[in-house]
Amino acid sequence: MPENTKRTNLSVRAWVLVALALPWLAIAGSIAKAHVEAASGVLHTFEIGGFDPRDPLRGHYLRYRLLVGDDPAITACAEDPGCRVCLVRDGGRSHARVLVPGERCRQPIAADVLRGGRRYLLSETLARPAERLLADAAREGRATADLRLLPDGELRAEGIRVDGEPIEEAAERLRLTGS
Protein backbone atom coordinates (compact mmCIF):
# COMPACT_ATOMS: atom_id res chain seq x y z
CA MET A 1 0.00 0.00 0.00
CA PRO A 2 1.44 3.40 -0.89
CA GLU A 3 2.55 5.65 1.97
CA ASN A 4 0.10 8.37 0.87
CA THR A 5 -2.90 6.01 1.18
CA LYS A 6 -1.87 4.96 4.70
CA ARG A 7 -1.72 8.59 5.80
CA THR A 8 -5.12 9.26 4.25
CA ASN A 9 -6.66 6.25 6.02
CA LEU A 10 -5.21 7.39 9.35
CA SER A 11 -6.46 10.90 8.75
CA VAL A 12 -9.97 9.66 7.94
CA ARG A 13 -10.00 7.44 11.03
CA ALA A 14 -8.87 10.32 13.22
CA TRP A 15 -11.68 12.54 11.91
CA VAL A 16 -14.22 9.77 12.40
CA LEU A 17 -13.08 9.36 16.02
CA VAL A 18 -13.29 13.11 16.58
CA ALA A 19 -16.78 13.18 15.03
CA LEU A 20 -17.92 10.34 17.28
CA ALA A 21 -16.38 11.80 20.44
CA LEU A 22 -17.62 15.36 19.97
CA PRO A 23 -21.29 14.77 20.89
CA TRP A 24 -20.26 12.84 24.01
CA LEU A 25 -17.94 15.64 25.06
CA ALA A 26 -20.70 18.20 24.52
CA ILE A 27 -23.13 16.20 26.67
CA ALA A 28 -20.53 15.75 29.42
CA GLY A 29 -19.77 19.46 29.32
CA SER A 30 -23.42 20.48 29.63
CA ILE A 31 -23.90 18.10 32.57
CA ALA A 32 -20.81 19.50 34.30
CA LYS A 33 -22.00 23.07 33.68
CA ALA A 34 -25.43 22.28 35.18
CA HIS A 35 -23.84 20.77 38.30
CA VAL A 36 -21.54 23.75 38.78
CA GLU A 37 -24.44 26.20 38.38
CA ALA A 38 -26.62 24.25 40.80
CA ALA A 39 -23.87 24.06 43.42
CA SER A 40 -23.13 27.77 43.14
CA GLY A 41 -26.59 28.86 44.28
CA VAL A 42 -27.57 29.80 47.82
CA LEU A 43 -29.67 27.29 49.77
CA HIS A 44 -32.85 28.61 51.41
CA THR A 45 -35.28 26.76 53.65
CA PHE A 46 -38.93 27.84 53.64
CA GLU A 47 -41.86 26.62 55.67
CA ILE A 48 -44.44 24.80 53.55
CA GLY A 49 -48.12 25.63 53.65
CA GLY A 50 -51.12 24.86 51.53
CA PHE A 51 -50.13 21.24 50.98
CA ASP A 52 -52.17 19.36 48.37
CA PRO A 53 -51.87 15.62 47.83
CA ARG A 54 -50.32 14.52 44.56
CA ASP A 55 -52.36 14.49 41.38
CA PRO A 56 -52.39 10.87 40.13
CA LEU A 57 -52.93 12.07 36.56
CA ARG A 58 -49.69 14.05 36.58
CA GLY A 59 -47.32 11.63 38.29
CA HIS A 60 -46.10 11.25 41.82
CA TYR A 61 -45.62 14.89 42.69
CA LEU A 62 -46.28 16.46 46.05
CA ARG A 63 -47.70 19.92 45.52
CA TYR A 64 -47.02 22.63 48.07
CA ARG A 65 -46.84 26.38 48.58
CA LEU A 66 -43.96 28.31 50.15
CA LEU A 67 -44.64 30.46 53.18
CA VAL A 68 -42.29 33.36 52.45
CA GLY A 69 -43.33 35.76 55.18
CA ASP A 70 -46.45 37.40 56.53
CA ASP A 71 -45.84 40.79 54.89
CA PRO A 72 -48.89 41.70 52.73
CA ALA A 73 -46.54 43.83 50.61
CA ILE A 74 -45.06 40.62 49.17
CA THR A 75 -48.45 39.58 47.79
CA ALA A 76 -48.92 43.02 46.24
CA CYS A 77 -45.36 42.96 44.93
CA ALA A 78 -45.92 39.65 43.14
CA GLU A 79 -48.58 41.36 40.99
CA ASP A 80 -46.04 43.94 39.75
CA PRO A 81 -43.62 42.51 37.14
CA GLY A 82 -40.91 45.01 38.09
CA CYS A 83 -41.07 44.40 41.82
CA ARG A 84 -38.08 42.60 43.37
CA VAL A 85 -37.70 40.79 46.66
CA CYS A 86 -34.70 39.72 48.67
CA LEU A 87 -34.54 36.30 50.28
CA VAL A 88 -33.25 36.56 53.83
CA ARG A 89 -32.10 33.68 56.00
CA ASP A 90 -33.08 34.10 59.63
CA GLY A 91 -32.00 31.23 61.85
CA GLY A 92 -32.86 28.02 60.07
CA ARG A 93 -35.59 29.46 57.87
CA SER A 94 -35.77 31.94 55.03
CA HIS A 95 -38.32 34.62 54.26
CA ALA A 96 -38.80 37.24 51.56
CA ARG A 97 -38.59 40.98 51.99
CA VAL A 98 -39.72 43.55 49.43
CA LEU A 99 -36.81 45.68 48.26
CA VAL A 100 -37.09 49.42 48.56
CA PRO A 101 -35.13 51.66 46.16
CA GLY A 102 -31.50 51.93 47.19
CA GLU A 103 -31.58 48.86 49.43
CA ARG A 104 -28.81 46.33 48.90
CA CYS A 105 -29.48 42.65 48.35
CA ARG A 106 -27.03 39.95 47.31
CA GLN A 107 -29.35 38.50 44.68
CA PRO A 108 -32.73 40.19 44.23
CA ILE A 109 -35.33 38.11 42.42
CA ALA A 110 -38.71 38.75 40.85
CA ALA A 111 -41.46 38.33 43.44
CA ASP A 112 -43.57 36.24 41.10
CA VAL A 113 -40.95 33.45 41.37
CA LEU A 114 -42.35 32.81 44.86
CA ARG A 115 -46.00 32.74 43.77
CA GLY A 116 -48.09 29.72 43.07
CA GLY A 117 -47.67 26.09 43.85
CA ARG A 118 -44.54 23.99 43.56
CA ARG A 119 -44.08 20.32 42.87
CA TYR A 120 -41.68 17.75 44.25
CA LEU A 121 -41.23 14.36 42.58
CA LEU A 122 -41.28 11.19 44.67
CA SER A 123 -41.15 7.50 43.83
CA GLU A 124 -44.48 5.70 43.61
CA THR A 125 -43.74 3.57 46.68
CA LEU A 126 -43.13 6.65 48.86
CA ALA A 127 -45.94 8.86 47.56
CA ARG A 128 -48.73 7.67 49.87
CA PRO A 129 -46.65 7.65 53.10
CA ALA A 130 -45.24 11.08 52.20
CA GLU A 131 -48.76 12.44 51.73
CA ARG A 132 -49.76 11.20 55.18
CA LEU A 133 -46.65 12.76 56.74
CA LEU A 134 -47.05 16.13 55.06
CA ALA A 135 -50.77 16.45 55.74
CA ASP A 136 -50.14 16.92 59.46
CA ALA A 137 -46.64 18.40 59.29
CA ALA A 138 -47.62 21.26 56.95
CA ARG A 139 -50.62 22.13 59.09
CA GLU A 140 -48.46 22.15 62.24
CA GLY A 141 -45.54 24.13 60.74
CA ARG A 142 -43.14 21.16 60.84
CA ALA A 143 -42.62 20.83 57.07
CA THR A 144 -39.99 22.75 55.14
CA ALA A 145 -38.70 22.87 51.59
CA ASP A 146 -35.05 23.38 50.72
CA LEU A 147 -34.65 25.46 47.56
CA ARG A 148 -31.48 26.61 45.90
CA LEU A 149 -31.48 30.14 44.46
CA LEU A 150 -29.50 29.82 41.24
CA PRO A 151 -27.50 32.67 39.70
CA ASP A 152 -30.23 33.19 37.06
CA GLY A 153 -32.88 33.84 39.75
CA GLU A 154 -34.56 30.44 39.48
CA LEU A 155 -35.47 28.54 42.64
CA ARG A 156 -34.71 24.82 42.29
CA ALA A 157 -36.19 22.34 44.78
CA GLU A 158 -33.53 20.36 46.64
CA GLY A 159 -35.77 18.52 49.07
CA ILE A 160 -38.67 18.49 51.47
CA ARG A 161 -38.18 17.87 55.18
CA VAL A 162 -40.46 16.92 58.04
CA ASP A 163 -39.04 17.81 61.45
CA GLY A 164 -35.66 18.31 59.75
CA GLU A 165 -35.60 14.80 58.23
CA PRO A 166 -35.69 14.32 54.43
CA ILE A 167 -39.20 13.31 53.34
CA GLU A 168 -37.85 10.25 51.51
CA GLU A 169 -36.33 8.83 54.71
CA ALA A 170 -39.35 9.62 56.87
CA ALA A 171 -41.77 8.19 54.28
CA GLU A 172 -39.69 5.02 53.89
CA ARG A 173 -39.72 4.48 57.66
CA LEU A 174 -43.48 5.04 57.74
CA ARG A 175 -43.95 2.64 54.82
CA LEU A 176 -41.90 -0.09 56.50
CA THR A 177 -43.31 0.28 60.00
CA GLY A 178 -46.82 1.34 59.10
CA SER A 179 -46.80 3.95 61.86
DSSP conformation class of 158: E
DSSP conformation class of 162: E
Give the domain ranges of the chain.
1-40, 41-177
Write the CA distances from 87 to 93, 142, 146, integer angstroms: 10, 20, 13
At residue 156 the predicted structure's pLDDT band, cuts being 50, 70 and 90, is confident
Q: What is the model's pLDDT at position 4? A: 60
pTM for the whole structure? 0.70
Write the burial class of residue 126 (CB in 10 Å: 0-12 exposed, 13-18 middle, 19+ buried): buried
Distance CA(139)–CA(134), nearest Å, equals: 8
Tell me the pLDDT tens digit for each residue of 65-101.
888 777 778 878 877 877 888 888 888 888 888 887 7
